[in-house]
Amino acid sequence: MPTLDVPGARLFYEVRGSGPVLVVVGSPMSARYFAPLAEALAAHHTVITTDPRGIAASPIDDPTLDVPVDQRADDLVRILDAVGAASADVFGSSGGAITGLSLVAHHGDRVRALVAHEPPVMTLLPDADEQLAAAREIVATFHSDGAEAAFGRFMVQAGFVGEDSGAPTEPMPGPPPTEQDMLDGARFLEHDLLVTTGYRPDLEALRAAPSRILLGLGEGSAHLVTQRTTTVLAEALGLEPTMFPGDHGGFLDDPAGFADALAKQLS
């Protein structure tokens, strides 16, 4: 599998299929979670997936460092350069949607269309201070009580779990976690959560960018905080959310159906 040496890290990426280039990215989700979606899209696209810097097979020289959102976006530009793609469509999920917003704001000439699926732009919410304080409490819980307790609090903030419930409202989709996933989860809690939720998008740059921007929202995401963040960002940009099957992880539940919906929006 190809890797790319960049300042401070080595980036792992995969290329599938043929046709218009489409980058599929998450944060902190690694490339393996997007493999079924990428396979479904590869019939009509050249699909690039990647492990974000510091996650899975993309190690960083100093793992004690946070990775700023803008650096995550710069890494995507480096990968596009490595494969010889002047521009690409981009599908970003969750924290990957935040990465996509930075990519458009700073490198809009490299992005034909961005589908930002449920970006957690907490900084735009009316209760941003409370949401960011809750994120800091999750990190504090990680340091005091460990990852399981911290993810419990995270699931409550995200809306997957009720305040008085000890179990998710529904099973989380996707493959069961591996040992590497556990390591990536710890990195997310210690180094990525506050970086992603604290990101403030450059609305002026997004409005001025040549890229077409679509803000994806799951049909089943009404109970999630990302429904609120997606809606408030859409209002700030003068857009209507584009509905997709499922909820926050709809591409995991039904990758073929989700791929069809995404390809239709990009056609």
Span 130-146, pLDDT tens digits: 999 999 999 999 999 99
Give 223-247 pLDDT, tens digit per residue: 999 999 999 999 999 999 999 999 9
Give the count of beta carbons closer than 10 Å to the beta carbon of residue 232: 17
Answer for the pair 29, 93: CB distance below 8 angstroms, yes or no: yes
Give 52-87 pLDDT, tens digit per residue: 999 999 999 999 999 999 999 999 999 999 999 999
Q: Using 50, 70 and 90 to split pLDDT, how confident is the model at 167?
A: very low
Answer for the pair 54, 187: CB distance below 8 angstroms, yes or no: yes
Q: What is the DSSP letter of 166?
A: S
Mean pLDDT of 110-121: 98
Share of the chain above pLDDT 70, in %: 95
Give the count of beta carbons closer than 10 Å to the beta carbon of residue 63: 12
Query: May I ask the CATH class of domain 3-123+199-266?
Result: alpha beta
Measured CA to CA, the distance from residue 112 to residue 90 in angstroms comes to 8
Q: What is the pTM of this model?
A: 0.94
